[in-house]
């Protein structure tokens, strides 16, 4: 889908230059820029939602039909947004009646007014060397982000203090900060949506400034830990963010909410809900029942599509739930693939240093590549999946839905058939004796992750073996949900104790990580 269909058009307004060099003053009352291009889609949420232990189908509309074209995603995304606001975040609220401010080479100020209430906040600016205007990355909270690499790559840093917009350490019935000054201290909206609202208002000011200092159409966001949760929510809830880069976000960030309770050592949902009012108040109903949620974080990952997304996780600290994070990333990547944008998502948890919010050498090159591709528009590096074997999630355990092949033309709805086995979007392989093997892959320079789906034929099976033929130079380094014999060339994979028995038409998946080039791998399946 063309980016223009999924990103709001930027409305750049004339600005009045002050006598102070480098400063632009923006008048209030100007036309609003669109941060949510599906805001005109009619969405009617039901009062009750069916419960499911599996991740919800991101392609299934509220009315039960499934999208069939890329153009359908626009309104399906709006449904997911409304569901997320209803149950996870609370309402973000659109642009207030009046937004004004200033932009300089060192600072951005924001003034907002709505229904007789006003609030103000600001953000610092650090410019890279060279001549502007510059793309920019919002760094939330001021730590954990590799600001040196961001600036060396040619992007400015906008230092965003979210606590000025939504203060931590406050009770839910007395929330404080600029957002709550406008919408009330007893607002049911959680801090993550409030923090996202603050960045959206800064973007409003950047758009109105005319872009003399910073480019409002080349913006990224990053942050670590609780500010990684914030960076993720900001990218999810504002389509003007071209590149979203959450770091070690943990519970309330990227990790799948349904998977967290089963991941040993990860921060529990109740604990995260009680630690700070990050979640919206309504999430209290789901802390002990995530299966009741009509949405999960793989769909929030998908809401970023087809824009740039680079998820960074730490597998060494159980509290951060990196296994659940990989499940969400893999689930969301299915939407990226269906939209023809599989190369726009990266996930990297394969790191050596376990220090929380460390500046990691493994992430430096992909950080540069993502900035070049999505902000500078000078690069074309494909997305990278580097999943640590310490915290490798298995998407097959969490979904019972198919990944459709979406057309480029107008869409039509199709009924949902939960019994239909999933068909990967990357090449299927020949049928063997009673089962088939289908290969899908994420390739990067020097390595790859392969997922192989085993599907039973017309009769049940009680065991399977997959013979994979790897290209020359490729070598398997780790495997999950299967046994293996061999590392290069002809490699054999066999079922484990829990995934060998399949009913007719049922499927299971296993995966492996390797070095070299995995593209061109073929696989056949035999039973027994």
Catalytic annotation, residues: 225, 356
Which runs of consecutive H residues, i.e. helices, occur in 349-488? 361-371
The C-alpha atoms of residue 342 and residue 383 are separated, in whole angstroms, by 7
DSSP sequence for 21-33: TT-EEE-SSPPPP
Contacts of 524 by beta carbon, 8 Å cutoff, 6+ apart = 429, 430, 432, 437, 466, 467
Nearest alpha-carbon partner for 6 in 57, 70, 69, 84 = 70
Which structure tokens are listed for 90? 């609370």
Residue that is written with structure tokens 């399906």 in the block? 76
Phi, psi of 363 (to 5 degrees): -90, -10
The C-alpha atoms of residue 398 and residue 382 are separated, in whole angstroms, by 26
Could you count the other beta carbons within 10 Å of the beta carbon of residue 421? 16
Phi, psi of 187 (to 5 degrees): -55, 140
The C-alpha atoms of residue 464 and residue 435 are separated, in whole angstroms, by 8
Could you count the other beta carbons within 10 Å of the beta carbon of residue 409? 10
Nearest alpha-carbon partner for 375 in 142, 156, 102, 141 = 156
Nearest alpha-carbon partner for 375 in 247, 222, 225, 248 = 222
Asked if omega into 95 is within 30° of 0 (cis), the reply is no
Contacts of 106 by beta carbon, 8 Å cutoff, 6+ apart = 124, 125, 126
User: Is the separation of the CB atoms in 454 and 437 below 8 Å?
Assistant: yes
- Strands 134-140, 156-160: parallel, antiparallel or unpaired by DSSP? parallel
């Amino acid at each position: 889908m063309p980016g223009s269909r999924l990103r709001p058009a930027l409305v750049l307004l004339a600005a009045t230059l002050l006598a102070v060099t480098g400063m632009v003053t923006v008048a209030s009352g100007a036309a609003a820029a669109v941060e949510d291009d599906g805001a005109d889609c009619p969405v009617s949420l039901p009062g009750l939602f069916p419960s499911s232990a599996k991740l919800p189908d991101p392609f299934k509309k509220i009315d039960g039909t499934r999208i069939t074209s890329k153009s359908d995603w626009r309104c399906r995304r709006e449904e997911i947004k409304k569901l997320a606001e209803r149950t996870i975040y609370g309402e973000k609220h659109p642009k207030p009646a009046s937004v004004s401010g200033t932009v300089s080479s060192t600072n951005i100020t924001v003034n907002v007014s709505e229904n007789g209430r006003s609030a103000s906040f600001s953000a610092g600016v650090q410019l890279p060397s060279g001549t502007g205007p510059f793309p920019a990355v919002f760094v939330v909270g001021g730590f954990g982000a590799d600001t040196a690499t961001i600036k060396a790559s040619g992007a400015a840093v906008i230092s965003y203090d979210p606590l000025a917009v939504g203060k931590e350490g406050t009770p839910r019935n007395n929330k404080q900060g600029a957002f709550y000054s406008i919408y009330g201290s007893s607002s049911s909206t959680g801090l993550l949506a409030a923090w996202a609202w603050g960045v959206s208002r800064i973007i409003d000011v950047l758009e109105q400034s005319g872009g003399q200092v910073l480019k409002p159409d080349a913006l990224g966001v990053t942050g670590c830990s609780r500010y990684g949760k914030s960076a993720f929510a900001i990218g999810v809830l504002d389509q003007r963010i071209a590149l979203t880069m959450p770091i070690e976000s943990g519970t309330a960030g990227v990790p799948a909410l349904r998977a967290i309770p089963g991941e040993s050592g990860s921060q529990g949902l109740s604990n995260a809900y009680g630690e700070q009012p990050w979640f919206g108040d309504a999430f209290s109903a789901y802390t002990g029942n995530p299966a009741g949620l009509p949405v999960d974080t793989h769909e929030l990952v998908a809401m970023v599509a087809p824009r740039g997304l680079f998820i960074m996780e730490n597998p060494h600290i159980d509290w951060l739930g990196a296994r659940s994070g990989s499940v969400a990333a893999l689930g969301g990547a299915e939407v990226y693939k269906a939209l023809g944008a599989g190369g726009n998502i990266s996930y990297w948890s394969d790191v050596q240093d376990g220090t929380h919010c460390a500046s990691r050498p493994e992430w430096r090159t992909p950080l540069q590549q993502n900035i070049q591709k999505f902000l500078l528009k000078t690069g074309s590096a494909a997305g990278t999946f580097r999943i640590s074997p310490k915290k490798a999630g298995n998407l097959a355990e969490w979904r019972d839905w198919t990944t459709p092949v979406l057309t480029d033309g107008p869409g039509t709805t199709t009924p949902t058939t939960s019994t239909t086995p999933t068909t990967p979007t990357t090449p299927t392989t020949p049928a063997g004796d009673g089962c088939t093997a289908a290969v899908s892959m994420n390739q990067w320079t020097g390595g790859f992750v392969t997922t192989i789906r085993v599907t039973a034929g017309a009769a049940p099976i009680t065991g399977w073996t997959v013979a994979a033929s790897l290209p020359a130079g490729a070598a398997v380094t780790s495997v999950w949900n299967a046994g293996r014999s061999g590392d290069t060339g002809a490699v054999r994979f066999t079922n484990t104790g829990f995934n060998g028995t399949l009913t007719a038409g049922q499927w299971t998946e296993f995966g492996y990580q390797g070095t070299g080039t995995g593209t061109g791998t073929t696989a056949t399946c035999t039973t027994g």
